[in-house]
Amino acid sequence: MDNARIKFTKLSQTDEPFKVDIDKLNYTFYDMGTYRNTLASHSLRILINKHSELVINGGVRLDPFKMNGNVELKKFQTFRIFNI
């Protein structure tokens, strides 16, 4: 995927709607195979709500499923999810 965008809104009768805007979503698989124990590489980069950036780089295996790698979350901004 190159430069995809996802906009999510959860409406609430009592609170403001919960909104997440995922932009500039880029996800790439390299050397994907279906043989048992075949390891592929993957790279994910997304921008969340114009400020936070999530970056995942690593390996993925389908059979049996296993995923490893490095995860970076930059400029993470917290927001209220539940009204407690």
Is 12 within the bounds of a domain? yes
For 28-81, the DSSP string reads: EEES---STT-EEEEEEEEEETTTEEEEEEEEEEETTEEEEEEEEEES------
67, 60 Cβ separation under 8 angstroms: yes
Is 64 within the bounds of a domain? yes
| pLDDT for residue 55 | 93
Q: How many domains does the chain have?
A: 1
81 pLDDT higher than 60: no
**Residue 35 lies in domain:** 4-74
| pLDDT for residue 1 | 85
Q: What does the pLDDT look like over 28-72, one tens digit per residue? A: 888 877 777 788 898 999 998 888 899 999 998 877 888 899 999
